[in-house]
Amino acid sequence: MKARGWDIVERIGRGDVLVFDGGYGTMLFAAGLLNGACPELWNDTHADVVAGIHQGYFDAGSHIVETNTFGGTRLKLNEYQIGDRTRELNVKGAQLARKVAPAEGYVAGSIGPTSRLPRDYALDEGVTDDEYEATFREQAEALAEGGVDLFAVETMMFPQEATAAIRACKSVADLPVMATMFFQYEELHDRDRTMWGETAADVAKSLLGAGADIVGMNCGRGPDRATVIIGEMRAATSAPLIAYPNAGLPITDGDVVRYELGPEEMAREYPALLDAGCNIVGACCGSNPDHIRLIADIVRARARR
């Protein structure tokens, strides 16, 4: 029997547009997470809070909600001296989202970067491709055990790390893999590139070549640049595309960080993002369920048309 996560790919093939969720760090900090603390530890210590965030996004209209496991690899958790809890925190993260998901909702297992550089570029010993793949495989196995419908490899900056994560996910379960990269806007050249200088078209081709089923971008400058990036990807591939950009740029006021775009300002950009060929839309840093609610309204209005 095929995993239900594959319904997402089939729905996109039929012309459906799906709604992703919004920011997690934003919501966790609002709930009291301290700077420098481990977000994934809250899957154990503040399970009700994490489940409430998932519920808030489903209630706002998200079809797909992520697990609170962005930094859940052993390499990343070792920074907090809790690498030995990798399996536990990822299983719990998946179970929390699964518990509150409606029957028609999907749970994506979040897999973010390790914050460790590839060996070729690191000033320390760095990480080999095999080491990347092993740490991502451990996380993906735990997420699959916890009941995710698909994997979300996200905010990747280095091609080696992204492709290793995709391969790891594909090796542990027959679930679809979404993969997104972080792009920087180069104002001088009026273009978007990864930290390694890759174009949007290059990224789409390399992620799909590694085995991803859905590709795109997340984080970054905002929905205006997401529209450009998705347009360039769409020109290079007919594969399903996803975008969940930040709510604009961060604005720091003392110890308080807010983002440029409120829900109305952000949602105003999404018709253009859909016109560019995006199949799944959501939001990232600086967004909350209010942003997703208005984005979901736009998606529903487009479907009625």
Question: From CA 222, how far away is CA 219, in angstroms rounded?
Answer: 7
217 located within any domain: yes
Does residue 202 belong to any structural domain of this protein? yes
Tokens coding 27:
């919501």
Please check whether residue 54 is in contact with residue 97, taking contact to mean a CB–CB distance below 8 angstroms.
yes
Question: Given this model, what pLDDT does residue 126 score?
Answer: 79
Residue 1 lies in a domain: no
132 sits in which H/E element: helix 129-146
pLDDT for 155 = 98
Summarize pLDDT for 186-203 with one digit per residue, the tens.
Answer: 999 999 999 889 999 999
Full DSSP string of 66-98: E-S-TT-SHHHHGGGT-GGGHHHHHHHHHHHHH
pLDDT of residue 213: 98
Rounded CA separation 230/275 (Å):
10
Q: Where are the beta strands (DSSP E) in the chain?
A: 18-19, 64-66, 106-111, 150-156, 177-181, 184-186, 191-193, 214-219, 241-245, 250-253, 256-259, 280-281
Sequence-separated (6 or more) residues with CB below 8 Å from residue 61: 19, 292, 293, 295, 296, 297, 299, 300
Angle (CA) 43 49 51, round 5°: 70
- Residue 125: predicted pLDDT: 78
Q: pLDDT value at position 111?
A: 98
Q: Dihedral through CA 60, CA 64, CA 65, CA 66, nearest 10?
A: -150
Q: How many CB atoms lie within 10 A of CB 14?
A: 6
Torsion angle, alpha carbons of 37, 39, 42, 48, to 10: 130
Range of the domain at 22: 6-304
Q: Is the pTM of this model over 0.95?
A: yes
Give the integer Cα–Cα distance in Å for 198 and 226: 15
Q: How many domains does the chain have?
A: 1
Residue 154 within a domain? yes
Q: What is the CA radius of gyration of the chain?
A: 18
Is 122 domain-assigned?
Answer: yes
pLDDT of residue 123: 62
Supply the pLDDT for residue 79: 96
CATH code for position 126: 3.20.20.330
Provide block-wise average pLDDT over 10 residues at a time, the chain (305 residues). Answer: 95 98 96 96 98 98 98 97 98 98 98 87 78 97 98 95 97 98 96 95 98 98 97 98 96 86 98 98 98 98 86
Give Cα 120 to chain centroid, integer Å: 26
Measure CA of the first residue to CA of the last residue in the chain; give whole Å: 34
Q: Is residue 42 assigned to a domain?
A: yes
* Burial of 267: CB neighbours in 10 Å, binned 0-12, 13-18, 19+: buried
C-alpha distances (whole Å) from 131 to each of 65, 127, 165 are 28, 6, 11
Which residues, other chains included, contact 238 with Cβ-Cβ below 8 Å and sequence gap of 6+? Answer: none
Handedness of CA 116, 177, 142, 33 (dihedral sign): positive
CB 159 within 8 A of CB 206: yes
Domain-located, residue 287 = yes
